Amino acid sequence: MAKSFKEALKARRTYYRIDNKSTLSNAEIKDLLNVVVEFVPSAFNSQTTRVVLLTNRAHKKLWNIVKETLRKQIPADVFGKTEEKIDGSFACGYGTILFFEDMSIIRSLQEHFPVYQENFPIWAEQTDAMHQLAVWTLLEDVGMGASVQHYNPLIDEEVRAAWHLPADWKLVAQMPFGTPLARPGIKEVMPLDKRVFEFTD
């Protein structure tokens, strides 16, 4: 890691203007994902998160699926703005990382630990979020820009079919990434004394 973890976390931002270049080879990106998946924790060591890397034609295919799915949902006279956003912000990137949760493991845990039955889906979402933040921060650290998108559940079925993924995998987020074309604007932050509290007794 070029920066300290604190520095990398502070530097991480949402990038909508990216291009189809990468500061890493596909093998290096895959290694980054392997590290995250191996070392990010999960409740009961359930290891429910599944990560899929899409580059080249697979990346373009994903965003075409998103566009054509939304085309059926959005009135034609306003669809142009949606298409422009997808083509100009996400599809033009180098790749996309898909984050899934394996619901078969979650159901198994619910059966074995019924007292926590309602918690396991919540904990799985938390685990997935930790994976997303870790990947996002590491991409930032190597000079790449990314954002997190949520076109699920509209695209879930077609995405699973396109890459022959298990039916039990629930899509949670999509992370398009590439080299940044512009810095994000200033981020508004609420006063920390309204968000962080300390008590000593």
110-143 exposure pattern, b = at least 16 Cβ within 10 A, e = fewer:
beeeeeeeeebbebbeebbbebbebbbbbbbbee
Q: Which tens digit of pLDDT belongs to each residue from 22-35?
A: 999 999 999 999 99
- Which H or E run contains 54? strand 49-55
Task: Give the pair of three-digit tokens for residue 107.
Answer: 């159901």
Q: Give the pLDDT confidence score for residue 5 in this predicted structure.
A: 87
Q: Which tens digit of pLDDT belongs to each residue from 126-138?
A: 999 999 999 999 9
Q: Which tens digit of pLDDT belongs to each residue from 86-122?
A: 999 999 999 999 999 999 999 999 999 999 999 999 9
Q: Give the pLDDT confidence score for residue 167 in this predicted structure.
A: 97
Q: Which domains does the chain have, with CATH numbers?
A: 5-183 (3.40.109.10)
Judged by phi (left if over 0) then psi (alpha if -120 to 50, else beta), residue 74 lies in: beta
| Alpha-carbon gap, residue 14 to 137, rounded angstroms | 11
Using alpha carbons, select from 156, 63, 146 the residue that is nearest to residue 101.
156
| Alpha-carbon gap, residue 22 to 180, rounded angstroms | 10
Residue 37 one-letter amino acid: V
SS3 percent helix, strand, coil of the chain, rounded to 5, is 50, 15, 35
Answer whether residue 4 shows pLDDT above 90: no
Over pLDDT 70: what percentage of the chain?
A: 100
